[in-house]
Amino acid sequence: MPKRHALFTTLLASTMVLATSLPSLAASNICDFYAYSDDSDPAGTNVRSGPGTSYDIVGVLKPETVEESYSFTPEFQVTAFDNGWFQIGDAHYGDYDGGGDKPAFKGPGWVSAKLVEFEIEDPNLRDAPSLDAKVILEMRFDTPWGLDGMRIQTIHACEGGFLDVTITNPTGATKRGWVTDLCGNQATTCS
């Protein structure tokens, strides 16, 4: 075997070992939207080093009281999804009291997707993660599928600012598709 071929084979094998030892996310699991913590536990939301409860806790997102009767939770950018868990970047308390944003957690870290909240501002459920994709359901307020009555039952994947979700309405009916225009502002809309 020529030296050049042997060197190439050795480099290729080393690269393959390195690539298989690193965690990777499919392209459909790279996210880009903002959300906030939605955990009823007064101790806060655990942030973990990986996507699951077996990973170490690396931080806690606690609610911050702005007024005596109202509190806000930390907001963050969602950057990835893996089997029911969102990877988040830096988390901060929004400027809801006029005092400016305040840091809450230095990312990255992972939180259970069940404890993450955001509003869906685009009323269209699509068959693919694209604004040009076919609309399979209009979630209008005057229907059983209105944005005010439906809820996300399962998150399957994300791609940029789109989430592949199964939604359910008050009658228990379900539909699956892609939603977008996700808003992580706790006081108003993002549009």
Which residue, chain included where needed, has tokens 């694209």? 130
pLDDT at 12: 36
Distances (CA, A) of 74 to 26, 124, 145, 157, 179: 27, 28, 29, 23, 23
pLDDT at 17: 37
Nearest CA-CA partner of 158 in 22, 39, 33: 33
Taking only the tens of pLDDT, the chain with its 191 residues reads 454 444 333 333 433 333 333 345 555 589 999 999 998 888 999 999 999 999 999 999 998 776 666 778 899 999 999 999 999 999 998 877 777 788 999 999 999 999 999 999 999 999 999 999 999 999 998 889 998 889 999 999 999 999 999 999 999 999 999 999 999 988 888 87
State the DSSP code for 4. Answer: H
pLDDT at 21: 36
Question: Considering just the CA atoms, what is the radius of gyration of the chain in Å?
Answer: 20
State the DSSP code for 61. Answer: E
Distances (CA, A) of 174 to 115, 125, 156: 21, 12, 14
CATH code 2.30.30.40 for 29-117: yes
Nearest CA-CA partner of 163 in 2, 70, 16, 30: 30
Q: Which two tokens stand for residue 18?
A: 């390195």
pLDDT at 6: 41
Which residues belong to CATH 2.30.30.40 in the chain? 29-117
Pair 150, 141: CB distance under 8 Å: no
State pTM to two decimals: 0.81
pLDDT at 95: 79
Q: If you write DSSP's letter for every residue of 21-34 in order, what string do you get?
A: HS----TTEEEEEE
